Amino acid sequence: MTSSLSPHRALQQFIKKAKELLGESAVLYDEVDLLVYEQDGTLAVRGKAYAVVFPRSVDEMAKAVELAYNYGIPIVGRGSGTSLSGGATPIKGGVIVSTARMNKILEVDLDNEVAAVQAGVINDWINSYLARMGYQYPIDLGYQYAADPGSQRVSTIGGNIAHNSGGVKCFKYGVTVNQLRGLTVVLPNGEVRRIGGKEFEQAGYDLIGLLTGSEGTLALVAEAVVRVVPTYETTVTIMAKFNDLAAAGRAVSAVIASGAMPVAMELMDKLAVEAVESGPYAAGLPRDAEAILLIQVEGSPPGARDEAAKVAEVLRRNGAAGVEIVEDPARAAKIWAARKQAFGAMGFVGPNYVVEDGTIPRKKLAEALMIARAAGAKRGLRVANVFHAGDGNLHPLILYDERRPGEREKAIEAGEEILEACVELGGTITGEHGVGYMKKKLLPKMYRKEEIELMKAIKTVFDPKGLMNPGKIFP
Amino acid sequence: MTSSLSPHRALQQFIKKAKELLGESAVLYDEVDLLVYEQDGTLAVRGKAYAVVFPRSVDEMAKAVELAYNYGIPIVGRGSGTSLSGGATPIKGGVIVSTARMNKILEVDLDNEVAAVQAGVINDWINSYLARMGYQYPIDLGYQYAADPGSQRVSTIGGNIAHNSGGVKCFKYGVTVNQLRGLTVVLPNGEVRRIGGKEFEQAGYDLIGLLTGSEGTLALVAEAVVRVVPTYETTVTIMAKFNDLAAAGRAVSAVIASGAMPVAMELMDKLAVEAVESGPYAAGLPRDAEAILLIQVEGSPPGARDEAAKVAEVLRRNGAAGVEIVEDPARAAKIWAARKQAFGAMGFVGPNYVVEDGTIPRKKLAEALMIARAAGAKRGLRVANVFHAGDGNLHPLILYDERRPGEREKAIEAGEEILEACVELGGTITGEHGVGYMKKKLLPKMYRKEEIELMKAIKTVFDPKGLMNPGKIFP
């Protein structure tokens, strides 16, 4: 095979052969069918794919990738398309390799405390599958907190790995890379590599670390072996309200400094609370608060209660205007579902929004929240804030109205200003949704030229033709 | 500068300039001084260094590395030299860059729960420094369990990072890479890269993951930012004896399957117990047992006690011939110190030993222990076993007498047979001491040729001249 064919002819050949290899129904190329693949969760960027393929197995994924590579066609992986940085958008055209049909949980091995899954498995499916065994995949709250339909947790494990995503529980359990024991990946030329397995440690270079967070620019993840952990008997939720945003930020630090071990610690500001309390997921969060903190602790029944009481005491001593300890699982589930719906609920307070995703050292929280608010205010825009204290991950939601000319651009501009401030505060331009297309111009704010060159040289080792998710990460 | 000088002349120039840059006392090159650097913890391999340099800072390390690189002299990093695979031995000559003077704890930031340290800091120093703040670096038991002098815990953070080491606590807290937030490294050409910082997540490729475990073949670690975590109020130790090695192996699985969350779970077989009970660290471990399990749980006082009772019950139901719950901290410290002294105590049961380091899926523990014993027996050698259930890390100690011709070779052969069995059982050839020189011929047992080529290509990106720890990892 050769890539000296005209692009049009190469594409026709690709489609013909892909149908032979994967089956007629596994290849989309009709213009109308391709429309929904022009975008991911990032509304500000579009790109036209030539075709979408739906492999069912490692082997089929390898065949599809090899075929595209040999024809010189760009290859863009896609899970559920929830990227907020244009990561799954084919900005340079090419073939989208969707993991939608690679949705099997392959094995649960509790003896080694691991689960093997295909890349297209939804994060939360693992938890719902494990719940009856008393285990969890500890990256987010677990399926009992999902408020379906409309749950934001539609992301796939493959997408989580591509972006090294965090979750509400990463305060205690770490981010995605900390959960991985093994990966099966497809290299650009279609070769399959099985890296690691059920073990903690590997000989040789840690390619799992390198591939995690590489946003589909080095290889595609086909399968993963993730760790699973036992679920503690009891969880207790603490909800605290604050009349002052800065005080809430300081209280986060105080809880950490106290030596408490929360599983999750989330902050929502007044506008975020107002949004969720205006919709179907209203959970009685205090609308008069400038900010609320939601904290979850876990343990044996006496252990968790003891820990919750200590956290509550720290919050009271650190400016909380009210603290509620929630032991009732049904009420706790409702509160956390409200938190998880905050993004979706933005529609109740404004017609459109841009959501940003940066990290900051936790100590700088109050400062960052003020900067975010000010970045909106000076452009006449309101900014709601949701913050994962766990990984210092700030999600400013910048509200705008796209019917007003220029407002969207202002919102994007405000978002960039906030991310630049994150870097200046000692943080990063992405917590969990990647650099992708939207943030690549910000990469030089974080890295020197030589560091970016080092990363590019590594990319060339994997992808000498530059066909893997082109136009992403690197400016 | 140029490397077209004769090797002898290049070395003379290197020594002269290194003394100018780092000071007279920071460069060793006298034959007698160099003797102790011919070996690390691996007694079976030697190599002569041309010189040893002792930088005090990132900047001095960078200058020394740049100088050696420009003269085309191999560069071998060295912490405390406890490698069991020849990792710190200059088998192709060259300059040893010792981190012995880079021994400062630079910052402890409890708000972000991190500590910044120089690469030469001893693992346990961080714990002794943090103890009064109620925090720990959670990779090993913590300084109160150190039995000095003679503690095996003399390893440096830099060495831990180079080998992605595990520790007794990695069952709960993960291995070294899971503790890292930031690295400052010196590239072969002397350029300094600061990767990450206090954050959980980074944009771009995860170079921390790639560099961790790369055994000094890509770059030298100069400083690290590690996470620290609060120490739980109470720890309880459970000691169980078994009359049958296989039953002990199954009990490990049963404890894990029960959903218990031990911090540490260690197995010692009869010969390992006999060794420690014959020396100054005797702690009253039952010498009549075929194997003992040592388990530590932690939590609030009621939480830890509750957990300990549950674990004890699981052990009793799964074949333990006796279970002791140890709440007294002094007695617990004595027991754990005995465990930590197992390697050193081998001298009481045999004149010499080879210690191997492989991992296996935990379920295969009983099988692996039998294989290890048999591999020794058929060569007329006794094998003691210590096992970290946390990362499935097996340490067979193969006893031999070097005064008997051929016995050392037999011991090495038995070790290789055990490691090959580890791979066949689904494990790896190294848990925490690296591939180094000793195990490089085993790498092809784990990886296909193309996988090794991929790793080598990554090495070339960092180290095009092949000067970083040459002759290691790759066969």
- Selecting from B204, B300, B432 the residue whose C-beta is nearest the C-beta of A201 gives B432
Res B44: pLDDT: 72
Contact B202 A213 (CB under 8 A): yes
Maximum Cα interatomic distance, chain A, rounded to a whole number of Å: 71
Pick the CATH number of A105-230 from 2.170.140.10, 1.20.1280.50, 2.40.30.10, 3.30.465.10: 3.30.465.10
The H or E element spanning position B449 is helix B449-462
Between A401 and B260, the higher pLDDT residue? A401
Label the pairing between strands A75-78 and A95-98: parallel
Query: How many C-beta neighbours within 10 Å does residue B441 have?
Result: 12
Identity of the highest mean pLDDT range in A212-221, A302-311, B244-253: A212-221
Is B302 within 8 Å of A307 when comparing Cβ atoms? no
CATH architecture of the domain A350-432 equals 2-Layer Sandwich (3.30)
* Alpha-carbon gap: B143 to the closest alpha carbon of chain A (Å): 19
- What is the spatial distance between Cα B340 and Cα B379, in angstroms, rounded to a whole number? 28
Query: What confidence score (pLDDT) does residue A151 get?
Result: 40
* φ/ψ (deg, to 5) at B48: -100, 125
For residues A411-415, give the mean pLDDT.
93
Is B350-435 in CATH node 3.30.70.2740? yes
Q: b vs e for A132-150, b when ≥16 Cβ sit within 10 Å of the residue's Cβ? A: eeebbbbbbbbbebbbeeb
Q: Give the residue-averaged pLDDT of B187-192.
A: 95
Task: Please say if the pLDDT value at position B218 is more than 60.
Answer: yes
Predicted local confidence at residue A428, as pLDDT: 84
Which of A86, A102, A78 lies closest to A47, judged by CA?
A86
Specify the pLDDT at position B152. 47
pLDDT score of A87 more than 80:
yes
Q: Do A170 and B200 touch (CB under 8 A)?
A: yes
CATH number of the B234-340 domain: 3.30.70.2190
- Structure confidence by residue, pLDDT tens digits, B435-459: 888 888 888 877 888 888 889 999 9
Would you place residue B276 in the very low, low, confident or very high pLDDT band (cuts 50, 70, 90)? very high
A319 compared with A246, residue with greater pLDDT: A319
Rounded to an integer, the average pLDDT of B130-142 is: 82
A447 vs B contacts (CB less than 8 Å) = 204
CA distance B308 to chain A (A): 12
A362–B175 C-beta distance less than 8 A: no
Average pLDDT over chain B reads 89
Judge whether A40 and A83 are in contact, CB under 8 Å.
Answer: yes
Q: Which helix (H) or strand (E) holds B353?
A: strand B352-355
A353 sits in the region (left: phi over 0; alpha: psi -120 to 50; else beta) called beta
Q: Is B264 in a helix, a strand, or coil?
A: strand
Distance CA A475, CA A449 (A): 10
- Who wins on pLDDT, B80 or B313? B313
CA proximity to A151, closest of A396, A333, A385, A294: A333
B395 CA: distance to closest CA in chain A (Å)? 15
Other Cβ atoms less than 10 A from the Cβ of B287: the count is 14
Answer yes or no: do A111 and B256 touch at CB < 8 A: yes
Averaged pLDDT, B21-44: 90
Q: Would the CB atoms of A306 and B306 count as touching at under 8 Å?
A: no
- Cross-chain Cβ contact A393/B302 below 8 Å: no
Q: Which of B174, B198, B200 sits opposite A166 (nearest CB)?
A: B200
Spell out the SS3 assignment of chain A.
CCCCCCHHHHHHHHHHHHHHHHCHHHEECCHHHHHHHHCCCCCCCCCCCCEEECCCCHHHHHHHHHHHHHCCCCEEEECCCCCCCCCCCCCCCCEEEECCCCCCEEEEECCCCEEEEECCCEHHHHHHHHHCCCEECCCCCCHHHCCCCCCCCCCEHHHHHHHCCCCCCHHHHCCHHHHEEEEEEECCCCCEEEEECCCCCCCCCCHHHHHCCCCCCCCEEEEEEEECEECCCEEEEEEEEECCHHHHHHHHHHHHHCCCCCCEEEEEEHHHHHHHHCCCCCCCCCCCCCEEEEEEEEECHHHHHHHHHHHHHHHHHCCCCEEEEECCHHHHHHHHHHHHCHHHHHHHCCCEEEECCEECCHHHHHHHHHHHHHHHHCCCCCEEEEEECCCCEEEEEEEECCCCCCHHHHHHHHHHHHHHHHHHCCCECCCCCCCCCCCHHHHHHHCCHHHHHHHHHHHHHHCCCCCECCCCCCC
- Cβ contact (<8 Å) for A112 and B361? yes
Which residue on chain B is closest to A200 by alpha carbon?
B391
Cβ distance of B214 and A206 shorter than 8 Å: yes
Q: What are the chain A neighbours of B436 within 8 Å (beta carbons)? A: none
Burial (0-12, 13-18, 19+ Cβ within 10 Å), A72: middle
Question: Could you report the per-residue pLDDT of A118-137, keeping only the tens digit for each?
Answer: 999 998 889 889 988 999 99
CA distance A457 to chain B (A): 6
Percent of chain B scoring above 70 in pLDDT = 95
- Determine, for residues A201 and B135 on separate chains, whether the beta-carbon distance falls below 8 Å: no
Q: How confident is the model at residue A171 (pLDDT cuts 50, 70, 90)?
A: confident
Give domain A234-343's CATH number out of 3.90.230.10, 3.40.50.1860, 3.30.70.2190, 3.50.4.10.
Answer: 3.30.70.2190
The answer, yes or no, to whether residue B153 has pLDDT greater than 70, is no
Lowest mean pLDDT among A144-153, A218-227, A423-432, B62-71: A144-153
Beta-carbon separation of B213 and A231 below 8 A: no
Position B147 scores a pLDDT of 38
Contact residues, chain A, for B430 at CB < 8 Å: 201, 203
Contacts of A112 in chain B (CB under 8 A): 361-363, 392
pLDDT of residue A267: 93
Chain A residues with CB under 8 Å of B182 CB are none
- Considering only the beta carbons, identify the residue of A201, A257, A300 that sits closest to B359: A201
3-state SS class at B390: coil
Quick: pLDDT tens for A327-337: 999 999 999 98
Nearest CA in chain A to B256: A111
What is the pLDDT, as a whole number, of residue B433? 73
Of B174, B302, B473, the CB nearest to A178: B174
Out of A112, A201, A452, whose CB is closest to B164? A201
Closest approach of B461 to chain A, Cα-based (Å): 6
How far apart CA A315 and CA A302 sit, in angstroms, is: 20
Q: Do A458 and B205 touch (CB under 8 A)?
A: yes
Question: HSE (CB half, 13 Å, CA atoms) of A439?
Answer: 33
Which of B257, B302, B429 shows the shortest C-beta gap to A111? B257
Answer whether A105-230 and A234-343 agree in fold. no
What is residue A147's predicted lDDT score, i.e. its pLDDT? 38
CA distance B469 to B330: 43
Supply B135's token pair.
């925090």
Domain layout of chain A by residue ranges: 7-98, 105-230, 234-343, 350-432
Fold classification of B7-98 (topology level)? 3.30.43
CA angle A297, A300, A303 (to 5 degrees): 65
Residue of A nearest to B301 (CA): A303
Distance from CA of A427 to the nearest CA of B (A): 7
Q: Which residue of A has its CA nearest to B422?
A: A199
The percentage of chain A sitting over the pLDDT mark of 70, rounded to a whole number, equals 95
Residues B323 and B237 sit within 8 Å (Cβ to Cβ): no
B452 neighbourhood in chain A, CB within 8 Å: 204
Lowest mean pLDDT among B37-41, B256-260, B326-330, B395-399: B256-260
Range ranked top by mean pLDDT from A60-74, B162-176, B354-368? A60-74
The mean per-residue pLDDT over the stretch B357-376 comes to: 88
Higher-pLDDT residue of A355 and B20 is B20
| Nearest-neighbour CA in chain A from B9: distance (Å) | 32
- Among B133, B172, B201, most A C-beta atoms within 10 A, so best to mutate, is B201
pLDDT tens-digit map of B321-364: 999 999 999 999 999 989 888 888 888 888 888 888 888 888 88
Contacts of B243 (CB under 8 A, 6+ apart): B289, B290, B321
Q: pLDDT grade, residue A200 (50/70/90)?
A: low
Nearest CA in chain B to A307: B300
pLDDT digits (tens, 9 = 90+) for A150-163: 344 688 999 999 98
Q: Which of B204, B307, B393 sits opposite A455 (nearest CB)?
A: B204
The answer to whether residue B202 scores a pLDDT higher than 70 is: no
Distances (CA, A) of A178 to A7, A200, A394: 41, 10, 20
**Complex ipTM:** 0.82
- Taking contacts as CB-CB distances below 8 angstroms, the residues of chain B near A390 are 200
- Look at A199 and B359 and tell me if their CB atoms are within 8 Å: yes
Query: Does A355 or B456 have the greater pLDDT score?
Result: B456
Residue B272 pLDDT exceeds 90: yes
